[in-house]
Structure 1
Amino acid sequence: YRCSYMKNFVASDFSILIVDYHPENLKLLGNVLVKAGYNLNFATNCQEARQKISHLHPNLILFDLKVAEDNGCGVCHQLQEDLKHQHIPMIFMTVNKERKYLNYNFELGVIDYLQKPFDYEEVLAKVKTHLIIKQKSDELKESEAKLNTIITHLYDGILIIDRDGVVKFANPAAARIFGQPLEALLNHSLGIPILTSDKALLDFIHPNGKLGVAEITVGKTEWQGETVDIICLRDVSDRQKVMEELEVALTKQKELSEELEKQATTDGLTNIYNRRQIMKLAAQEFDRSIRYQHPFSILMMDIDKFKIINDTYGHQIGDRVIIEMVKAVLKNIRKVDILGRLGGDEFMAILPETNQKQAVEVAERICLGMREIEITFEAEIIKVYTSIGVASYSEEIINLEDMISYADKALYQAKRGGRNQFCTV
């Protein structure tokens, strides 16, 4: 059985320093480790050991206990105090089996010991094990250093809290958001209610006294052997402001766009479709009628003797007559029907899914509705009437222009027939 993390172990990636008085020990131990693939360096006294540790930075030190004793374990103390080398693992080689003495050496940073005379299989096993541990420890430290750098300089606030809601870790950004020094946050209870998996917003006071908003995201993770909640606090104060300003700008843009669309498609006086739009919609409805062979009719209308009304009573009364006429027409057509102003007192009504008989009924209703209009001007009552030409789609009609021409002819007939009526052709 081999652990998966040992499969990628390459002995030549590691260097070992052996410190021993006896050249014979150096030779015997060295041969075993070189044969296993390790890079070796040797020292026969503490001074030489210090120099090689400083220059070579070995991954592991095999230290003869006798050498250490003769020098008051100075090298061990030096490694403990030197930040650059204090994590180099040391294995003592000794003939002393007294457990109490060995424990004392462990306090100096010694991680293990090898008994003389050597069991070389044991030597290889312990060397490999402690090098792997060292490698993984270095990787972990490097990872923690990177993570710490990221978290320290992260704009978002990070909190790690235990099951009781007590802060076990906080980064500078979290301290800034809460307006507290880091030490004031650590071991401070946030309370259980904040522990939610949902995203939420938290109001806070900036150090400058301004109200801020933080977005809270909570997730679970493992930290120092226990399940904890990691809370991300993102200061979205500016984002909220930007979003509000963006929303206002988008709303304004939408309103301007709708207003522009309205101005481009509707008549300013009556708020019904203008000539351009009503003709566009009529063309669409005509094409649909041909494609699906559905009935379709249009009404061409104008106000009887409108020029006389306009010249006699003025443009304000003329505008009022047009508005009242539009109200009467809209009152007597369906919601699916479409009304547009072609210009002056001329109007078109589009009647989808409407045959000639049904269109005539609509025209008749409109004429009756117009007769109810009475406009008072200086004690005089002005009556308003309309003439209507009705045209319905048939096989002999080739295009919309033909249909409009038929409706115009019918309108002319209604005028010639005495006005205040409708006609078909």
Structure 2
Amino acid sequence: DWIIAMGVHLDEIDAYTEKVNSEIDSLSSDSIIKLLGYIFVVLLLGFVILYLIGNKHLLTSTKSLEKEINIDTLTKASSRRSGEINLNSFFKQFKQTGEGPAIMMMDIDDYKHINDKYGHHVGDMVLTEIVDAIYHIIRNSDQLIRWGGDEFVGIFPGLREEHIIEFGEKLLEGISSLEVLVGNETISITASIGFSYFKDTDIDYSDALKRADEALYLSKEQGKNSVNMLL
């Protein structure tokens, strides 16, 4: 009788089993390593995407916050905080180079009367109209700052003393040409302006602002709707 066997002999089973287990272990290790690699790549890609999204959101939020801080919400003029930073920067530059901008102080004539008679909503409208009119006159390099209430500060780099009065009168003309309608009544608006420049004896930018403020009150004393300069 014949016995025909195909496959693995009994005495070779242990060696065959060990070989198969070794191959399985090798395949399992490779699979696990590849799987971990895939997981790592996915996690890394997800982290990069989240980082980019978060960074973009942070940048957008920061710019939005800076804009809110640096811009007066009502009039869209620069905020006082922004103005103080720029004034301080220009004053430091003046101390180094001897060149500084023209500094303006301006307020609206009889603004309290407008608020009392027509209401604060009309007063707000007046401020907005005035800022818009001034922005149509000044340059992009100039800065108009809402200092507080109806008081504004202007920074005008490169504006020479011999052109100050003419420039101030141009601003006054732009303001006085405004006509704010309240019902059937038209409100005429005027302003008073004072100018000054930095001096070598100034301790900080506020010294120039004080002189500009004194020039402003001189304009008030002269009947309002006028411009003066004190050096």
Q: TM-score, normalised by structure 2?
A: 0.79
Counterpart in the other structure of 2:32: 153
Q: Secondary structure at the match of 2:220?
A: helix
- Contact 1:351–1:359 (8 Å) recurs in 2: no
Residue identity in the other structure for 1:152: S
Equivalent position SS for 1:257: helix
> Among residues 325, 341, 344, which one is paired with 2:149 in the alignment?
344
Q: CA deviation at 1:254?
A: 3.4
Query: Alpha carbons of 1:319 and 1:152: their partners in 2 closer, same or farther (altered >3 Å)?
Result: same
- 2:68 aligned residue: 263
Whole-angstrom distance in 2 between the partners of 1:259 and 1:323: 21
- Mapped to 2, the partners of 1:149 and 1:313 lie a distance apart of 84
Deviation of 1:295 after TM superposition, in Å, equals 3.2
Alpha-carbon distance between aligned partners in 2 of 1:150 and 1:297, rounded to the nearest angstrom: 77
CA distance in 1, matches of 2:50, 2:36: 25
Residues 329, 366 of structure 1: 8 Å contact kept = yes
1:310 to 111, 115, 123: 115
Aligned residues: 219
For 1:194-209, what aligned pairs fall within 5 Å after superposition? Answer: none
Structure 1: gaps (5+ residues):
1-76, 87-141, 159-172, 174-232
Verify the 8 A CA contact 2:95 2:200 in the aligned structure 1. no
Establish whether residue 417 from structure 1 lines up as the match of residue 219 from structure 2.
no
Aligned CA distance change for structure 1 residues 311 and 150 (closer, same or farther; 3 Å)? same
1:272 Cα deviation after fit: 2.2
- Partners of 2:124 and 2:103 in 1: how far apart? 24
Q: Residue 368 of structure 1: CA displacement?
A: 1.5
Query: Equivalents in 2 of 1:264, 1:395: separation in Å?
Result: 31
Residues 1:384 and 2:177 aligned together: no
- Counterpart in the other structure of 1:254: 59
| SS of structure 2 residue aligned to 1:407 | helix
Pick from 118, 128, 140 the counterpart of residue 323 of structure 1: 128
Aligned counterparts of 1:156 and 1:355: Cα–Cα separation in 2: 73
Matches within 5 A, 1:13-412: 82-83=15-16, 148=27, 150-156=29-35, 236=42, 247-412=52-217
Identify the residue that residue 188 of structure 1 maps to in structure 2: none
- Show CA shifts across 1:265-308 (max 9, x none): 33221122222221221111111122122232111010111111
Q: Contact 2:168/2:227 (CA < 8 Å) preserved in 1? A: yes
Change (3 A) 1:335 1:85: closer
1:345 shift after superposition: 0.2
2:3 aligns with none
TM-score (norm 1): 0.45
Please say if residues 90 and 100 of structure 2, whose CA atoms lie closer than 8 Å, have aligned partners that are also in contact.
Answer: no
* 1:332–1:362 contact (8 Å) kept in structure 2: no
Q: Aligned-residue CA RMSD in angstroms?
A: 3.3
Distance (whole Å) between structure 1 residues aligned to residue 75 and residue 197 of structure 2: 26
More helix as a share of residues:
2
Distance in 1 between residues matched to 2:85 and 2:67, nearest whole Å: 15
**Cα distance change, pair 331–319 in 1 and its aligned pair in 2 (3 A):** same
Letter in structure 2 aligned against 1:403: A
Percent identity, please.
Answer: 28
**Residues 39-85 of structure 1, C-alpha deviations (whole Å, 9 max, x = no match):** xxxxxxxxxxxxxxxxxxxxxxxxxxxxxxxxxxxxxx957972499
Tell me the alpha carbon deviations over residues 331-358 of structure 1, each in whole angstroms, 9 at most, x when there is no partner. Answer: 1111111111111100001112333234
Once residues 203 and 58 of structure 2 are traced to their aligned partners in structure 1, the CA distance between those partners, rounded to angstroms, is 42
Name the CA distance, whole Å, in 2 between partners of 1:147 and 1:78.
Answer: 25
Give me the whole-angstrom Cα distance separating, in 1, the residues matched to 2:104 and 2:123.
22
Name structure 2 gaps, 5 residues minimum: 1-9
| Alignment CA distance shift 1:157-1:396 (3 Å) | closer
Question: Does the 8 A contact of 1:79 with 1:85 survive in 2?
Answer: no
Distance in 2, matches of 1:286 and 1:355, equals: 16
What corresponds to 1:221 in structure 2? none
Residues 85 and 326 from structure 1, CA distance in 2 versus in 1: closer, same or farther, beyond 3 angstroms?
A: closer
Contact 2:103–2:156 (Cα < 8 Å) also in 1 = yes
